[in-house]
Each structure stands twice: as C-alpha cells, then as structure tokens.
Structure 1
Amino acid sequence: MSRPDTALAEALAAGTPIPRDAEGPVFAEPWQAQAFALVVALQNRGVFSADEWAQALGAEIREALANGGCRDGSDYYERWCEALEQLLIEKGLASQTSVDARAAAWERAAEATPHGKPILLENDPLR
C-alpha cells in the first residue's frame, strides 16, 4: 500500500518533472513541503478536485515552459504555487489584488528581516 501523499504525487506528476524519490515527493526547502501540504489539505476539504488541480498545475507548467521556464523541474514548486494562486482566484477565494498585495508584503518583510532570522509578515514595515 502506498502512502497517501505518494499516491497523490503520482497522480499529479503524470508527465511532469516532480522532484521525487522512491518514497514520493522530495522538497529542497521547507516552503515546498508547506505548499504541497496546503494543496493536499485544500483538495481533501473539497475546495477543488484532483482533476481541477491537475488542470491548473498542467496549465501553469505548460505556460512556464512556453515562456522559457526550467525544463529540468527545478522550478516545479514555483509552478505549484502559481497554479494554486490561479485556482484560488478562479474559485473566488482570493483576488489577484490580494495575492499581489500579500506577495509584496512578503517581499518587504524579507528585505526588513535580518539575515538568518525567520521571515515573518510582522516584519513588513508597511504593516
């Protein structure tokens, strides 16, 4: 019996360069695991179906590749996050304005955070 996250990864990976090993998906950074877990949790709660997710992720990967994205899969989780943002916008759960505002807040927080310290939205000087 395969682990649930492995089965999900196999279903989502159909034809995509998902970073993985024999046990399932692998993550180079903690945020990648968090993004993966967020999608799994939202899908498990019925926010979107596996089909909707596969369509969104596939579209994002195709668009990125058409625009010079990494063919080796090294930007896979960036595509994952972009697909999630677009799906949430399409479902009316977020707006492009709110997504852009949150991204800008994280960028300001990152710039204001001393090296080696965790980046927190509370560090955004405009907050």
Structure 2
Amino acid sequence: MPALCPCGQDLPYAACCGPLHRGQATASTAEQLMRSRYTAFVMHDAPYLQQTWSLTTRPASIDFPPGREWTGLEIIGTTGGSPFHSEGTVEFRAHYTTAGTPGIQHENSTFTREAGHWVYVTAL
C-alpha cells in the first residue's frame, strides 16, 4: 500500500499533492495549496515552493534548515480561500523535529490568486 501524503489527507501522495507538484493540477482552494506547500517543505521541493509564492513576497531562494524533519500538519481554520474566493487565510500548526528536539511552526497564512492560481503571500 502506498504511503499516505505528508499533508495529512487520507490519500497516497500520488493521488493527493503529487499531481500539484508535477504540474498536472493546480490547487482549487487556499487550504489545498497550503497542504501541498507543507508537503513540498517535507520533500525539499524548492521549485514548487517558488512557483506557488506570490510575486510580491517571493524570496530569491528557499532554505531548508539542516536536520529539520517535518512530522505533521494540523489545519486549525480557514477564512475565504474557496474556489469562489480570490483571497483567503489558513491557520495551521506544522510539527517538526530538529536534532531530536520537537517544535511547532504556528502561522496564519494569507493566500491570493495570481493569474487565476492560488499563491502564498505571507504569514500574519
């Protein structure tokens, strides 16, 4: 049985975030984009992260902290961000360990549409 997608959905990667990462699909909601970006961090997929980052806030490069292992994602809540919205927020907790020490990244991230596609803007 294929491994479940790191984003927390009860689907294998190939049927969940994989098509987004391969450019075969685009996120239909801000939450779906958030989940696919979390999975991209797990997999160190810098090109996908760059592609899904707003042109207004995109960094020149993506750094992955050495020794950080992402261990789980909790979606706390969303506002807007549906297929019918042009903006939205996703509040989440991303769990990780660094050198065996657990940590949590808690954010309320903003998303918007650019050229019809959801992109990450910034954390509130």
Bigger radius of gyration, 1 or 2? 1
Larger RCO (alpha carbons 8 Å, 6+ apart)? 2
Q: TM-score, normalised by structure 2?
A: 0.29
Larger strand percent: 2
Larger helix percent: 1
Q: TM-score, normalised by structure 1?
A: 0.29
